[in-house]
Amino acid sequence: MDVIFLHGTTQAPAGWERVTELLDGLGHRTFRPELRIGDTGALASDHLDLLRGQVPADVRDPVVVAHSGAGLLLPAVASALGARHTVWVGAAVPDPGGVSFLDQVAAEGEEIFSDEWRGLTEPPTEDPVTAAYFLFHDCDLVTLRWGLSTVRLWHPMGLYGQAPEPFDPPAATFVLPTRDRVLRPEWMRRVARERLGARVVEVDAGHCPQVSRPRELAELVHRLGVPPAR
């Protein structure tokens, strides 16, 4: 099975490393493309152009996994690559009615983000203490140190302001971190069901279960490629 991982707004592709190593060991092919982080105004089509150059042409019916802000790009990537399944990991879900994420935040920001996250005055990637508090508070010390080495800011204002195209995503699984300090679990739970019709899998984790719970996440993705028992 081919699996493509989209990094979020606070981590480089390396943040998926421990998950992809486990899946590679199970015989899957994994890809961690670099999104267009240097161009804050890039739209979905711009990210797709860059991504296509990093994914082999023989990829067929992949599972596409997105974390955090990359959820806004996930429907476009899934459609372009003919994904069989989408996995949303503590991810923002676009409004299928065509409302941009900036407009969503203006209308219901208190429902989407935690009070502490909305109170930040600088990006959480600027300070390791802040990054640890919001992203890796559920990690042991060794894992925390590794997680901090993967931190990187991506500020996709183009995606935030872009009205999403109507989308009909393939089968979806939403991994909901119940101890998330960025996105409110109540909001994620609601939009996962209402907008995606997703199967919601709740995990006892903070915003980055790919760091704190890599084996649990890898096993979930692996099971998507295992034919059901007859």
3-class secondary-structure state, position 186: helix
Contact residues for 26 (Cβ-Cβ < 8 A; gap 6+): 218, 222
pLDDT at 161 over 60: yes
* Exposure class string for 72-108: b at 16+ Cβ within 10 A, else e: bbbbbbbbebebbbbbbbbbbbbbbeeebbeebbeee
Is residue 169 scored above 80 in pLDDT? no
Q: Looking at the chain, how many residues does it have?
A: 230
Are 62 and 33 spatial neighbours (Cβ–Cβ below 8 Å)? Answer: no
Q: Which residues face 30 on adjacent strands?
A: 3
225: burial class by Cβ within 10 Å (0-12, 13-18, 19+)? middle
More confident residue, 60 or 23: 23
The band of 179, judged by pLDDT with boundaries at 50, 70 and 90, is: very high
Question: Which tens digits make up the pLDDT trace of 129-160?
Answer: 999 999 999 999 999 999 999 999 999 998 89
Q: Which tokens is 15 given?
A: 């943040």
Q: For the chain, give the longest Cα–Cα distance.
A: 54
Q: What is the pLDDT of residues 74-96, one digit of tens each?
A: 999 999 899 999 999 999 999 98
> Residue 43: which residues within 8 A CB-CB, separation 6 or more?
158, 159, 162
Q: Note the pLDDT of residue 184.
A: 97
**Helix crossing, 44-52 with 74-81: angle to 10°?**
50
For 180, which DSSP code? -
What pairs with residue 85 in β-bridges? 63, 171
- What pTM did the predictor assign? 0.93
Q: Which domains does the chain have, with CATH numbers?
A: 2-224 (3.40.50.1820)
- What is the model's pLDDT at position 230? 43
C-alpha gyration radius of the chain: 16
Mean pLDDT over residues 49-67, rounded? 90
Asked if residue 198 lies in contact with residue 173, where contact means CB atoms within 8 angstroms, the answer is yes
Does residue 228 register a pLDDT over 50?
Answer: no
Q: What average pLDDT does range 114-143 have in this prediction?
A: 95
CA 201 vs CA 43, 91, 154: distances in Å: 30, 13, 26
Q: Is the pLDDT of residue 229 over 50?
A: no
Q: What residues form DSSP beta bridges with 177?
A: 203
Which residue blocks in 82-137 are alpha helix, DSSP H?
101-112, 115-118, 128-135
What's the pLDDT at 22?
Answer: 97
Average pLDDT, the chain: 92
